[in-house]
Amino acid sequence: MHRYWTVLTAGIVTLVVTVLLAGCSSSGSVSTHKADSSGVTRARALIAAASGQVTWTAPGPAFDARPAAGKSVVWVSDNQSIPFSTDTYAGFKAGLNADGVKTSIFDSQSSLGTADRGIRQAADAGAAAIMLQDIPSGGVSSAVNYATSKHVPVFGFTTQESGVAALAPLSGQTSFCYSCAGRLMAAQAVVQSNGSFKGVIFEATTVGAINTAEVQGITSGVKEFCPQECSVSVKDVPVATWASQMTTATTTAVADPSIGYLFPIYDGALPYVLTGLRSSHTDNRVRVVSYNASQGIIDNIAKKTPLTADPGNPSAWAGWAAADQVLRVLTGHPAAQDAHIPLRNFDASNVGTLDPGKPDSWYPGVDYQTKYRSLWSLK
For the residues 172-177, what does the mean pLDDT come to?
97
Chain segment 193-249, per-residue pLDDT in tens: 999 999 999 999 988 899 999 999 999 999 999 999 999 999 999 988 999 999 999
**The pLDDT of residue 198:** 99
Q: Distance between CA atoms of 96 and 181, rounded to whole angstroms? A: 28
Contact between 200 and 232 under an 8 Å Cβ cutoff? The reply is: yes
**The pLDDT of residue 17:** 34
Q: Please indicate, yes or no, whether residues 191 and 243 belong to a single structural domain of this protein.
A: yes
Average pLDDT, the chain: 91
Chain segment 43-57, per-residue pLDDT in tens: 999 999 999 999 999
Q: Which of 309, 324, 339 is the last residue of a domain?
A: 309
Does residue 34 surpass a pLDDT of 90? Answer: no
**Is position 11 within any domain?**
no
- pLDDT band, residue 372 (cuts 50/70/90): very high
For the residues 263-289, what does the mean pLDDT come to?
98
Q: Bridge-partner residues for 309, per DSSP?
A: 289, 347
Does residue 116 surpass a pLDDT of 90? Answer: yes
Q: How far is CA 145 from CA 61, 153, 330, in A?
A: 29, 10, 18
**Is position 2 within any domain?**
no
Q: Distance between CA atoms of 47 and 332, rounded to whole angstroms? A: 40
Does residue 21 surpass a pLDDT of 80? Answer: no
Q: Please indicate, yes or no, whether residues 283 and 224 belong to a single structural domain of this protein.
A: yes
Q: Distance between CA atoms of 203 and 15, rounded to whole angstroms? A: 9
- pLDDT band, residue 23 (cuts 50/70/90): very low
Does residue 91 surpass a pLDDT of 80? Answer: yes
Q: Distance between CA atoms of 84 and 1, rounded to whole angstroms? A: 6
Q: Please indicate, yes or no, whether residues 24 and 102 belong to a single structural domain of this protein.
A: no
Does residue 362 surpass a pLDDT of 60? Answer: yes
For the residues 306-312, what does the mean pLDDT come to?
98
CA angle 244, 136, 332 (to 5 degrees): 145
Contact between 202 and 237 under an 8 Å Cβ cutoff? The reply is: yes
Q: Is 256 left (phi over 0), alpha (psi -120 to 50) or beta?
A: beta
Quote the domain boundaries for residue 165: 66-177+315-375
SS3 for 283?
coil
**Size (the chain), residues:** 379
Does residue 346 surpass a pLDDT of 90? Answer: yes
Chain segment 81-90, per-residue pLDDT in tens: 887 899 999 9
Torsion of CA 355, 360, 363, 366, to 10 degrees: -130
**The pLDDT of residue 19:** 34
- pLDDT band, residue 16 (cuts 50/70/90): very low
- pLDDT band, residue 18 (cuts 50/70/90): very low
Does residue 137 surpass a pLDDT of 70? Answer: yes
**Is position 341 within any domain?**
yes
Q: Which of 253, 276, 309 is the last residue of a domain?
A: 309
CATH number for the domain harbouring residue 262:
3.40.50.2300
- pLDDT band, residue 28 (cuts 50/70/90): very low
Q: Please indicate, yes or no, whether residues 80 and 110 belong to a single structural domain of this protein.
A: yes
Does residue 97 surpass a pLDDT of 80? Answer: yes
Does residue 328 surpass a pLDDT of 80? Answer: yes
- pLDDT band, residue 3 (cuts 50/70/90): very low
Q: Which of 261, 289, 309 is the last residue of a domain?
A: 309
**The pLDDT of residue 35:** 55
SS3 for 286?
coil
Q: Distance between CA atoms of 48 and 337, rounded to whole angstroms? A: 28
Chain segment 190-199, per-residue pLDDT in tens: 999 999 999 9
For the residues 134-163, what does the mean pLDDT come to?
96
Contact between 343 and 313 under an 8 Å Cβ cutoff? The reply is: yes
Q: Please indicate, yes or no, whether residues 187 and 287 belong to a single structural domain of this protein.
A: yes
What is the three-state SS of 206-273?
HHCHHHHHHHHHHHHHHHHHCCCCEEEEEEECCHHHHHHHHHHHHHHHHCCCCCCEEEECCHHHHHHH
